[in-house]
Amino acid sequence: DAGITQSPRHKVTETGTPVTLRCHQTENHRYMYWYRQDPGHGLRLIHYSYGVKDTDKGEVSDGYSVSRSKTEDFLLTLESATSSQTSVYFCAISDRAVSDGYTFGSGTRLTVV
Amino acid sequence: AQSVAQPEDQVNVAEGNPLTVKCTYSVSGNPYLFWYVQYPNRGLQFLLKYITGDNLVKGSYGFEAEFNKSQTSFHLKKPSALVSDSALYFCAVRDPMNSGGYQKVTFGTGTKLQVIP
């Protein structure tokens, strides 16, 4: 997906360990989002950012934190991974909050064992 | 609270036939509506959106969607399905009347479209 990359693409980690996922964009978009995708739930918002150092919680933020120190990077940290956080994580960006569609990254498949 | 429903987990259609993927929504104001497509092991790709104006919206890959305010629906359509259209389709809604700096987007649970050769 042009302009937005996620790393790593796949990760297996043990319960209780911290994990950081990275989202990098080259579009200079203001808004960045972290979603998780689970069967039967669609996409659920974890956290979002509306500018450098400006972040806020989404609907499923417990156990997650984020940071945005530069426009282009948005990090998602699982402070102490649990099996319930096994999921596919997507980063998305948008230039304006209101009427724009989102551009999504290719996702990170995280497995917590 | 806003919500969106995709009543069908899977839709099967023969190649060359017209296809419809259904979406209904609930918002307090006039909605912004979106369709996305997800191919295996990929992120979601934006297909089309309805903000205002003509109720029939045209998007990428020959898809279109019809906004029906009275039925609170935004069904995705294509006149002639291709095998390559097989994917997961998500409807999403945003209520621009929501207060605050961020206007939440709510996604449906997705509909798997299977086009049979």
Q: What is the pLDDT of residues B17-32, one digit of tens each?
A: 999 999 999 988 888 9
Residues of A in Cβ contact (< 8 Å) with B94? 98
Burial of A101 (C-beta count, 10 Å sphere; 0-12/13-18/19+): buried
- Using a CB–CB cut-off of 8 Å, the residues of A that contact B are 1, 40-45, 48, 50, 56, 90, 92, 97-99, 101-107
How many other CB atoms are found less than 10 A from the CB of residue B10? 10
Average pLDDT over chain B reads 91
Give A39-52 pLDDT, tens digit per residue: 888 899 999 998 99
Question: Which of A21, A24, A37, A94 should we substitute to test contact with B (largest number of B Cβ atoms within 10 Å)?
Answer: A37
Helix (H, G, I), strand (E, B) or coil at A62: coil
Cα(B105)–Cα(B2) distance, integer angstroms: 9
- Residue B7: is its pLDDT beyond 60? yes
Residues of A in Cβ contact (< 8 Å) with B103? 97-98
> Is A10 in contact with A72 (CB distance < 8 Å)?
no
Pick from A34, A29, A35, A66: nearest CA to A51: A29
User: Rounded to an integer, what is the distance from CA A46 to the centroid of its chain?
Assistant: 7
Helix (H, G, I), strand (E, B) or coil at B76: strand
Which pair of structure tokens corresponds to residue B3?
A: 């919500």
pLDDT of residue B11: 98
Residues of A in Cβ contact (< 8 Å) with B51? 99
Name the band, by pLDDT with cuts 50, 70 and 90, for residue B103: low
Q: Given an 8 Å threshold on Cβ–Cβ distance, is A48 in contact with B102?
A: yes
Residue in chain B closest to A32 (alpha carbons) equals B102
A vs B: CB pairs below 8 A:
55
The beta-carbon neighbor of B43 closest among A40, A41, A107 is: A107
